[in-house]
């Protein structure tokens, strides 16, 4: 009967669960009513908390790795993070955002501009564009972890969300839940606090992990306007340092 559970058809797992033939700590299995309620609360509770510290680790389809380490105001739509990356983003050391505007820090930009006889500040401001910029796509993942309204717990069950296991690899004992094939949410054991989010694209070539900590209000200090160069003023020089 355990081998049938591991094999996996949802209908078989559900039947086994209803028959009470499977151990409580062994998954995957459909979420219970209580678990669906916890999942339904977690995105709203992220929003209600106001913000969090976060670390994002991602690998892009071209193999480029990116890490963001910072804080986000999930109500005000602002954030700021240190950046470690290779490839095209190796020259970036920080990113900040507010609403639909993104600010990217290129420490070498002033010197690169001076070589062309021009002035530039290290921060480059531009409209957010997740379809074009990898940094923006990761910011979008972080900001999507909060919602101003509670989810529908019945729909969570109807959509086949599963409980996978308990796990303490983050340092906090958590229940791991899976949506579809590529999305997992880690909630503090028996609670609603989100400690990790894992996602991927349909090809499995863009894994993203977000770890949240110290949920609570955040006051994000953004670069001053005098530190920012509009991207349209510097596009040709950016090409030389990206």
The pLDDT profile of the chain, 242 residues, written as one tens digit per residue, is 333 322 222 232 222 222 333 344 678 999 999 999 999 999 999 999 999 999 999 998 888 999 999 999 999 999 999 999 998 899 999 999 999 999 999 999 999 999 999 999 999 999 999 999 999 999 999 999 999 999 999 999 999 999 999 999 889 999 999 999 899 999 999 999 999 999 998 788 899 999 999 999 999 999 999 999 999 999 999 988 87
State residue 6's pLDDT score: 29
Distance (Å, whole) CA 220 – CA 97: 9
Distance (Å, whole) CA 136 – CA 89: 12
Q: Average pLDDT over the chain, rounded to whole?
A: 88
Domain range for residue 122?
67-145+219-241
Residue 202 maps to a domain: no
State residue 96's pLDDT score: 98
**CA atoms within a 13 Å half-sphere pointing along the CA-CB vector of 124:** 25
Say whether both 233 and 122 belong to one domain.
Answer: yes
Q: What is the model's pTM? A: 0.86
Which pair of structure tokens corresponds to residue 8?
A: 């996996």
Query: b/e per residue, 118-147, with b = 16+ CB within 10 A?
Result: eebbbbbbbebeeeebbbbbbbebbbebbe
Say whether both 136 and 71 belong to one domain.
Answer: yes
Say whether both 136 and 224 belong to one domain.
Answer: yes
State residue 24's pLDDT score: 47
Domain count for the chain, please give it: 2
Q: How far is CA 155 from CA 5, 16, 33, 150, in A?
A: 23, 22, 11, 12
Say whether both 225 and 122 belong to one domain.
Answer: yes
């Amino acid at each position: 009967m355990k081998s049938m559970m591991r094999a996996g058809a949802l209908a078989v797992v559900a039947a086994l669960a209803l028959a009470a033939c499977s151990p409580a700590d062994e998954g995957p299995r459909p979420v219970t009513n209580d678990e669906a309620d916890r999942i339904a609360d977690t995105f709203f509770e992220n929003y209600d908390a106001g913000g969090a510290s976060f670390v994002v680790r991602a690998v892009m389809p071209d193999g480029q790795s990116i890490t963001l380490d910072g804080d986000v105001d999930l109500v005000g739509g602002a954030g700021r993070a240190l950046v470690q990356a290779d490839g095209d983003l190796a020259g970036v050391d920080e990113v900040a955002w507010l609403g639909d505007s993104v600010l990217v820090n290129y420490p070498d930009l002033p010197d690169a501009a001076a070589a062309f006889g021009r002035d530039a500040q290290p921060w480059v401001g531009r409209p957010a564009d997740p379809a074009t910029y990898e940094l923006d796509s990761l910011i979008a993942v972080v900001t999507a972890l909060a919602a101003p309204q509670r989810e529908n717990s019945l729909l969570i069950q109807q959509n086949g969300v599963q409980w996978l296991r308990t796990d303490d690899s983050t340092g906090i004992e958590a229940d791991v839940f899976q949506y579809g094939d590529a999305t997992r949410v880690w909630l503090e054991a028996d609670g609603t606090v989100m400690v990790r989010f894992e996602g991927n694209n349909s090809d499995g070539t863009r894994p993203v992990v977000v770890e949240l900590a110290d949920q609570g209000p955040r006051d994000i200090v953004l670069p001053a306007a005098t530190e920012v160069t509009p991207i349209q003023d510097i596009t040709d020089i950016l090409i030389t340092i990206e």
